[in-house]
């Protein structure tokens, strides 16, 4: 069943375009006391340039772990991981990370928060008006000089996305970025993210707990097993873009995908 579901990209295309390539990638957390946690089973994953990949899986299955490995925040304990053909040895300028719950610095204004990536890291960044352009693109211009506590949750997360885009990275990694938002705001943010992806030509890896969000945004949905995490399905989403929230619900592919993913997750002992 798993095999039948997997969309196998043609080998040659993958080698040429894979911006993220994991082979036998695994992670075991070694604890000083208590048992070691085997978080990620050996994973093979190719993500091509410009793809939008959604990842769903049971809680604690290693999704954040996978993201942290790709972000260069933690070292893997097995296998290889390369971005654009270069082995990951630490955080890269080509990767922007959008954190859960925005993670803005409360003592900086919105503009200062978005500008943060450009004033650290020991490099001069010549970006022209990008900071203001990003702020304008996400509709935050009126709030550029405000502090995070003066913003709603959705606005904070938009600022968080702007910050991740400040260095114009090729890859955007997002770990449940909209998990803390209400359903309505979340839908708006999904539309906005689709727009950002379509206009900026980024490769995006989005971790989410929401099946509908995964399908709505993803060109592929990756389903992971319970811990230790493995990829149990890799499903292409062939719904034309730009997708709208109303249209997608009625789309036959959406319904069958949604059923498939739900069944896979249920088999892992988790219901969304």
Ligand X SMILES: Nc1ncnc2c1ncn2[C@@H]1O[C@H](COP(=O)(O)OP(=O)(O)OP(=O)(O)O)[C@@H](O)[C@H]1O
Residues 6+ apart with CB under 8 A from 250: none
Choice from 9, 62, 148, 169 touching ligand X (CB under 6 A):
62
Of the residues 20, 25, 45, 61, which one makes contact with ligand X according to CB under 6 A: 61
Interface with another protein: number of residues (CB under 8 A): 28
Q: Is the peptide bond before 242 cis (omega within 30 degrees of 0)?
A: yes
Cα–Cα distance measured from residue 260 to residue 247, given in angstroms and rounded to the nearest whole number: 19
Is residue 59 near ligand X by the rule CB under 6 A? yes
Give the Cα separation of 96 and 173 in Å (integer): 6
Q: Shortest gap between Cβ of 117 and Mg ion (angstroms)?
A: 23
227 contributes a contact to ligand X by CB under 6 A: yes
Strand, coil or helix: 213: helix
Q: Which is nearer to another protein, 58 or 148 (CB)?
A: 148
Give CA–CA dist 182/190, Å, rounded: 12
CA-based R_g, the chain, Å:
18
Q: Is 68 helix (H, G, I), strand (E, B) or coil?
A: helix
Closer residue to Mg ion in complex, CB, 64/210: 64
Q: Candidates 31-39, 83-91, 108-116, 151-159 — which segment interacts with ligand X by CB under 6 A?
A: 31-39
Task: Tell which positions 62-81 bind another protein, by CB under 8 A.
Answer: 68, 71-73
- Which residues of the chain form contacts with another protein (CB under 8 A)? 68, 71-73, 90-91, 93, 95, 97, 99-101, 103, 105-107, 116-117, 120-122, 142, 147-150, 152, 155
């Amino acid at each position: 069943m798993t095999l039948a579901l997997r969309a196998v990209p043609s080998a040659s295309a993958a080698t040429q375009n894979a911006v993220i390539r994991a082979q036998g990638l695994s992670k075991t957390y070694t604890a000083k006391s208590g048992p070691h946690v085997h978080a990620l089973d050996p994973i093979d994953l190719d993500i091509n340039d410009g793809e939008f990949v959604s990842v769903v899986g049971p809680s604690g299955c290693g999704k954040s772990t996978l993201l942290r490995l790709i972000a260069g925040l933690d070292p893997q304990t097995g296998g290889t991981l390369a971005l654009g053909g270069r082995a990951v040895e630490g955080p890269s300028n080509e990767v922007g990370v959008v954190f859960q719950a925005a993670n803005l610095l409360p003592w900086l204004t919105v503009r200062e928060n978005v500008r943060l990536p450009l004033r650290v890291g020991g490099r001069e960044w010549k970006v022209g008006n990008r900071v203001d352009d990003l702020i304008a693109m996400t509709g935050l211009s009126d709030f550029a000089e405000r502090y995070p506590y003066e913003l709603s949750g959705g606005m904070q997360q938009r600022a968080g996305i702007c910050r991740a885009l400040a260095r114009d990275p090729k890859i955007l990694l997002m770990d449940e970025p909209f998990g803390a938002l209400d359903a309505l705001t979340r839908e708006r943010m999904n539309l906005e993210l689709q727009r950002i992806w379509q206009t900026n030509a980024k490769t995006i890896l989005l971790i989410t707990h929401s099946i509908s969000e995964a399908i709505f945004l993803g060109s592929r949905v990756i389903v992971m097993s319970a811990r230790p995490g493995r990829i149990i399905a890799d499903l292409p989403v062939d719904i034309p873009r730009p997708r709208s929230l109303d249209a997608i619900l009625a789309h036959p592919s959406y319904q069958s995908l949604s059923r498939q993913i739900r069944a896979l997750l249920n088999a892992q002992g988790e219901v969304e």
